[in-house]
A and B are shown apart, each in its own frame.
Chain A
Amino acid sequence: MSQADFDVETLLARLEVSLREELARRRLDDPAMIGVHTGGAWIAEVLHRRLGFSEPLGYLDISFYRDDYPQSGMNPDVRASKLPFRVDGRNIVLIDDVLYTGRTVRAALNEIFDYGRPAEIVLGVLIDRNGRQIPIQADCIGGRLELEPGQRIKLTGPEPLQLTIRTGGR
Chain B
Amino acid sequence: MSATAAADIQLDAAGRLRHFLTIEGLSRELLVRIMDTAESFAGVTAQNVKKVPLLRGKTVVNLFFENSTRTRTTFELAAKRLSADVLNINIATSATSKGESLLDTVRNLEAMHVDMFVVRHAQSGAAHFIARHVAPHISVLNAGDGRHAHPTQAMLDVFTIRRAKGRFAGLKVAIVGDILHSRVARSEILALNTLGVDEVRVVAPKTLLPAHVEALGVVPYHDLNEGLRDVDVVIMLRLQLERMGTAFIPSEHEYFQRFGLTEKRLEKARPDVIVMHPGPINRGIEIDSAIADGPRSVILQQVTHGIAVRMAVMSMAMHSGPDMEVPA
Contact = CB atoms under 8 A, between A and B. Distances in A.
Binding between chains A and B: yes
Interface of A: 61, 63-66, 68-76, 78-83, 87-88, 96-101, 103-105, 110, 113-116, 131, 152, 169-170
A73 B16 contact: yes
Interface string B165-176: 000000000000
Given A78-B36, A78-B37, A114-B51, A131 B319 contact: no
Given A80-B42, A81-B40, A131 B323 contact: no
Contact of B40 (A72, A78, A87): A78
A64, A72, A79, A82 pick with most chain B CB within 10 angstroms: A64
Interface string B292-325: 0000000000000000000000011001111111
A64 B48 contact: no
B211 interface: no
Contacts of B111: none
Interface in B27-68: 33, 36-37, 39-44, 46-49, 51-54
A85 B214 CA distance: 51
Contact of A116 (B33, B39, B48, B316): B48
B48 A103 contact: no
- Central interface residue in B39, B44, B324, by most chain A CB within 10 Å: B324
A99 B328 contact: yes
27 contacts: A61-B40, A64-B44, A64-B54, A66-B326, A69-B319, A70-B319, A70-B321, A71-B324, A72-B321, A72-B323, A73-B322, A74-B16, A74-B315, A74-B316, A74-B323, A76-B33, A78-B37, A78-B40, A80-B43, A82-B43, A88-B48, A105-B328, A113-B49, A114-B47, A114-B49, A115-B48, A152-B327
A69 B103 CA distance: 30
Contact of B326 (A99, A104, A105): A104
List the 10 shortest-distance A-B pairs measured between CB atoms, nearest first.
A64-B52, A73-B321, A114-B49, A80-B43, A73-B319, A100-B328, A72-B324, A104-B328, A78-B40, A80-B40
Contacts of B323: 72-76
Contacts of B40: 61, 63-64, 78-81
Contacts of A97: 328
B320 A100 contact: no
Interface of B: 16, 33, 36-37, 39-44, 46-49, 51-54, 315-316, 319-328
A66 B44 CA distance: 15
A56 to B, nearest CB: 14
A140 B12 CA distance: 43
Contacts of B316: 74
A105 B327 CA distance: 11
B325 to A, nearest CB: 6
Contact of A81 (B33, B43, B48, B51): B43
Contacts of A65: 52-53
A57 to B, nearest CB: 16
Nearest to A112: B47
Contacts of A88: 48
Contacts of A61: 40
A114 B51 CA distance: 8
Given A78-B40, A82-B43, A68 B326 contact: yes
Contacts of B328: 96-101, 103-105
A115 B46 CA distance: 8
Contacts of B321: 70-73
A76 B319 CA distance: 12
Given A69-B54, A74-B315, A170 B327 contact: yes
